[in-house]
A and B are shown apart, each in its own frame.
Chain A
C-alpha cells in the first residue's frame, strides 16, 4: 500500500514533466524566425540513410554539382543557391514529414525528390496544397505527374523505354517468342506490362510474365519455368543485383537466349555479378559515361573532377533535376507557386539524360542509346 502511494506521487510528477517535455520539444521544432534573403534555398528530400542510401548519394552528388556550377557562375540572378538536404530513408511517412518541414519554412522555394515513387506520392499532397514544385529525379509511377499541378518528373517514363526495347527485339532482332521477368515494384510492373503490350502489338508472342520479389536471391524456379517454354528472348526488368543473379542462374540452368534489360543501364555491378553470363545482354541507356555528346561529356568530366568516381544514371538524373530547378526558379522570380508553371513553359530543356519539351507533356520521352555487353564490357550497339 505504501509502495503504491509513493509511485502515485511519482506518477503525477512524471505526467506533468512529460507534458512539459512535449511542449518544449514542440517549441524547439518551430521555425526560428526568418532573416534577410541573400540566398535562395532548395529543399532536397532523399534517402541519405537506410537501404536506399546508395541511390540517394548519387542523386545528391548530381544535384550538388549542378548547384555548385550555378553558384560559381554568379548564382541565381545574383543570389547564391543553398541546398537544404533532408533524409527521408525512402519511407513514405518520413517523406511526408520532410515535406511539411520544407513547406513550413518560408525560405525554401522548391523541392527536389524523393527517390521512390511511393515516398514521392505520399508527400505530393503536401507540396500540392502549398503550391510548391516537387521535382522528382526518379519517380517512375505513371500517376505521379498527374497528382497535381506542381509535380515535375525528370526521368523519362518507363513505358517509352520498354516500347523501344520491344521494337528492338521484335523488329530489329526478329525475336518471336519472348518471356519477361520483372521486379514486383511499381516500376517493374509498368516496365514489363508496357514491354509485353508492345510485343503483342508487333505480332510476336509473350510466353509469360514472371514477377520476382525485390531483394530475392534465388530465381531457379522462374528460370527453369522459362527455359521449358523455349523463348528466343527474355526481357528482364530489374536492377543490377536481380539481373546479375538471374543471368548467372540462367547460365547454370543452361538457358541460352537473347537477354534484354531495363533498370540496370550499363551497370558495372551487373558485369561483376554475372561475369561471362552477361555476354550479349542488350539494354538502352539514357546516360552513359563515354557518351561523346558535349552536354553529357561536360557533366561526366565535372563529376569525375569533383567526386573522383564515375557517375551513373542516378547522378545524371540528379544533375538534370538540379538544372530544371534552377531554370524554374529563375523564371519564377522567387515565387513558390510560379516554379512548376515556369518549368512547364520550358520547350527546349537540355539535360544530360536528353532534352525534353515540357510544354508538350509532363511525362518526358527521351532518346535512347543502344548498348550491349561484348567481351565483358558495355559497348554501343550499331
Chain B
C-alpha cells in the first residue's frame, strides 16, 4: 500500500471529524445549535490554553478567566473606542493577555502547587474587580456594547454560519499549533518538568524560563478566546469573566482529561452541551450537570481521555518526532 494512502487511512478519523464539523452548519439549519457549537469552540480554545499549564507542565493555574477577560476587553475596546481594524484588535487581544501572563508569571512562577494556584486565583479576582470598578476605562458594570462583528481581510463575518466558520478556523489553528508545540522539543521539556522538576533541571532544562514561556503562550491563547467571545456575542460585561468561568475550565479539563490534545476538546463539548441538553428538566439541570461530573470522577478519576497521550494523529506532518516521544517521555504516567 502506498505510504500516502496509509497516512490518509490512519488519519481518517480526524479527517472525517473535521469534514463533519465543516458540513455541520449545512445539515443543521438550527441557529441555536450553531450558537452552542460556537461557544463549544471558544471553550475548546480556553481548555487547550489551560491544558498547556495544568496538563503539560503541571502548573496549577485556576484563574484563567482573567486572561480570557483581558483578551475580550482588549479587542472590544480597541475596535469600539479606537476604531482599530479587527485583525489588529484580535491579535492585540492575544498579545496583551500574553503580556499580562508574563507580568504575572515572572514573579509567581517560582511558587509551587497551592501557592501558585492562589496567586492565579487572586489575579482572576483583580482582573474582574478592575473591569468592574474602573468605570472611565472599561465601562465598569455597564460593559461594552455594539462590538463589531469580525471582519478578516475583507471577509465580513456577518451571519451565524460565517461566525461558526470563523470560530472553527481559529479553533483549528489553535489546536494545530498547540499540537505542534507540545510535540516539539519545547513540549517535551514541559513534560519533563511536570514529571520531575529536579531531574529536568539536572538535564539542563531551564525550568523557570520554560514555565514563564508556557504561561505567556497559554495566556495568549486565552486572550484570543476572549476576542472570539467578544465579537461573537457583541456585548461584554465583567459578569462573563468571574471565577466561575475559571472553574468551568477546570471542570472541563477534569472531565475530559488533561495532558493530551483530545481531552480538552471532548470536555468542552460535553460540559457546554450538557446544560442545554438537560433543559427539559429546567430546575434540576444544574443538578444533573454536577451529577455527571461526580460520576465521571468516580469511574474515571483521570478524566475521560486522561492518562494517555492522544495526539490528534499529526503523524502526517512529522513522523520523526512522533517516533521520539513514542519511545520515551510520553508514556502514560502510570507506566513510569
B135 within 8 A of A: yes
Question: Given contacts A91-B239, A93-B233, is CB(A30)–CB(B30) below 8 Å?
Answer: yes
Question: Given contacts A16-B13, A118-B239, is CB(A101)–CB(B32) below 8 Å?
Answer: yes
The interface-forming segment of A182-190, A260-268, A270-278 is A182-190
Nearest-neighbor residue (CB-CB) of A104 within chain B: B32
What is the size category of the interface that chain A forms with chain B?
Answer: 35 or more
B122 within 8 A of A: no
Chain B residues within 8 Å of A18, by CB: 17, 266, 269
Q: Are A29 and B276 in contact (CB under 8 A)?
A: yes
Q: Are B13 and A184 in contact (CB under 8 A)?
A: no
A11 to chain B: closest CB distance in Å?
A: 6
Q: Are A186 and B237 in contact (CB under 8 A)?
A: yes
B36 within 8 A of A: yes
Question: Given contacts A49-B283, A87-B279, A87-B285, is CB(A12)–CB(B133) below 8 Å?
Answer: no
B273 within 8 A of A: yes
B286 within 8 A of A: yes
A272 to chain B: closest CB distance in Å?
A: 26
B234 within 8 A of A: yes
A19 is contacted by which of B13, B143, B277 (Cβ under 8 Å)? B13
Question: Given contacts A23-B20, A29-B32, is CB(A92)–CB(B239) below 8 Å?
Answer: yes
Chain B residues within 8 Å of A281, by CB: none
- The CA of A171 and the CA of B33, in the complex, are separated in Å by 56
A94 within 8 A of B: yes
Question: Given contacts A18-B266, A104-B31, A184-B141, is CB(A96)–CB(B233) below 8 Å?
Answer: yes
The interface-forming segment of A66-74, A120-128, A157-165, A364-372 is A120-128
Question: Given contacts A29-B33, A86-B279, A96-B35, is CB(A125)–CB(B266) below 8 Å?
Answer: no
Nearest-neighbor residue (CB-CB) of A49 within chain B: B286
Q: Are B32 and A118 in contact (CB under 8 A)?
A: no
Chain B residues within 8 Å of A116, by CB: 239
User: A26-B33, A92-B233 known; 5 other A-B pairs, CB under 8 Å?
Assistant: A15-B13, A93-B233, A121-B237, A142-B142, A186-B237
User: What are the nearest 10 A-B pairs in CB distance?
Assistant: A100-B32, A15-B13, A118-B237, A186-B141, A100-B35, A185-B141, A19-B17, A104-B32, A101-B32, A122-B235
B176 within 8 A of A: no
B129 within 8 A of A: yes
Chain B residues within 8 Å of A7, by CB: 308
Chain B residues within 8 Å of A49, by CB: 283, 285-286
- The CA of A16 and the CA of B313, in the complex, are separated in Å by 13
A25 within 8 A of B: yes
Q: Are B17 and A97 in contact (CB under 8 A)?
A: no
Chain B residues within 8 Å of A185, by CB: 141
What are 10 sample pairs from A and B whose C-beta atoms fall under 8 A apart?
Answer: A3-B335, A4-B326, A14-B305, A15-B14, A26-B37, A87-B283, A94-B275, A143-B142, A184-B132, A188-B141
Q: Are B35 and A97 in contact (CB under 8 A)?
A: yes
A103 is contacted by which of B31, B234, B269, B286 (Cβ under 8 Å)? B31
Chain A residues within 8 Å of B135, by CB: 189
B177 within 8 A of A: no
Q: Are B39 and A97 in contact (CB under 8 A)?
A: yes
- The CA of A30 and the CA of B16, in the complex, are separated in Å by 22
A189 is contacted by which of B29, B141, B276, B277 (Cβ under 8 Å)? B141
B28 within 8 A of A: yes
A93 is contacted by which of B37, B240, B310 (Cβ under 8 Å)? B240
- The CA of A188 and the CA of B129, in the complex, are separated in Å by 15
Chain A residues within 8 Å of B283, by CB: 48-49, 87
A92 to chain B: closest CB distance in Å?
A: 5
B282 within 8 A of A: yes
Q: Are A124 and B282 in contact (CB under 8 A)?
A: no
Chain B residues within 8 Å of A90, by CB: 239
Residues of chain B in range 116-151 having any CB-CB distance to chain A below 8 Å: 129, 132-133, 135, 140-143, 145
Chain B interface, DSSP helix/strand/loop, else mixed: helix
Residue-wise interface mask of A (187-226) relative to B, using a CB-CB cutoff of 8 A (1 in contact, 0 not)? 1110000000000000000000001010000000000000
- The CA of A216 and the CA of B32, in the complex, are separated in Å by 36
Chain B residues within 8 Å of A85, by CB: 282
Q: Are A121 and B143 in contact (CB under 8 A)?
A: yes
Residue-wise interface mask of B (254-280) relative to A, using a CB-CB cutoff of 8 A (1 in contact, 0 not)? 000000001000100100010111010
Residue-wise interface mask of B (5-46) relative to A, using a CB-CB cutoff of 8 A (1 in contact, 0 not)? 000000011101100100010011111111111010000000
Nearest-neighbor residue (CB-CB) of B307 within chain A: A7
- The CA of A124 and the CA of B145, in the complex, are separated in Å by 10
B237 to chain A: closest CB distance in Å?
A: 4
Question: Given contacts A29-B36, A49-B283, is CB(A189)–CB(B140) below 8 Å?
Answer: yes
- The CA of A188 and the CA of B140, in the complex, are separated in Å by 11
Residue-wise interface mask of A (68-90) relative to B, using a CB-CB cutoff of 8 A (1 in contact, 0 not)? 00000000000000000111011
- The CA of A91 and the CA of B240, in the complex, are separated in Å by 7
Residue-wise interface mask of A (1-29) relative to B, using a CB-CB cutoff of 8 A (1 in contact, 0 not)? 10110010001101110110011011111
Chain B residues within 8 Å of A213, by CB: 129, 132-133
Nearest-neighbor residue (CB-CB) of B286 within chain A: A49
B16 is contacted by which of A19, A87, A97 (Cβ under 8 Å)? A19
Residue of A89, A90, A121 with most partner-chain B CB within 10 A: A121
B195 to chain A: closest CB distance in Å?
A: 18
Chain B residues within 8 Å of A186, by CB: 140-143, 237
